[in-house]
Amino acid sequence: MDFRIIVHYAALAYFSYIFGYAGLFKVIQKTSMMNSMQSLGFNRAWTLVIGYAEVLGVLGIVAGLFIPHLKNASVLYLWPFAIAAFATHMAHHEFSHYFNSLAVTVLPVLILCSDRHFRLSL
C-alpha cells in the first residue's frame, strides 16, 4: 500500500475523531464541555450551533469517503473552526488543549496535499 494513502487516512481519521467527539460533546451538552465553552464566552445557544456545525462537517467527511469532493469540501469547511479553536485556547492559556487544537489546524494541509482528488490552481 502506498505510504501517501496511509498518511492521508490516518490524518483524516484523527481529524475526524477530534472534531467528532468535540462536536458531539457540545451537542449532547456534556457538563465539562458546556462549562469550558462558557468560560470562553460562549453561551448555550452558540455552543450548540458550533457543535452541530462540527458534527455536520464530520458527517460530510464520512459521506466523502464515497464522494471524494465532499470530503475535501468538509475538511475545508472545518478548517476555520480548527484555527478558531487553536487561537481561542491559546488566548485563554488552555495549554492542556494545545496538541489537539494545533493538530486539527495543521492536519488539513496534510490531508489535502495527500489526496489524489484535490488540486489547487493558482
Average pLDDT over residues 52-57: 97
Q: Report pTM.
A: 0.90
Residue in the structure block whose three cell numbers are 484523527: 14
Count of other CB atoms within 10 angstroms of residue 75 = 26
Q: What is the pLDDT of residue 30?
A: 95
Q: Could you read off the pLDDT of 7-26 as tens digits, one per residue? A: 999 999 999 999 999 999 99
pLDDT at 1 over 70: no
CA dihedral over 40, 19, 105, 46, signed as positive or negative? negative
- Backbone φ/ψ region at 121: left (φ over 0), alpha (ψ -120 to 50), beta: beta
Question: DSSP strand E in 40-119: where?
Answer: none
CA dihedral over 103, 44, 80, 76, signed as positive or negative? positive
pLDDT at 40 over 90: no
Average pLDDT over residues 26-45: 92
Q: Could you read off the pLDDT of 62-115 as tens digits, one per residue? A: 999 999 889 999 999 999 999 999 998 888 887 777 888 899 999 999 999 999
Under 8 Å between Cβ of 97 and 21: no
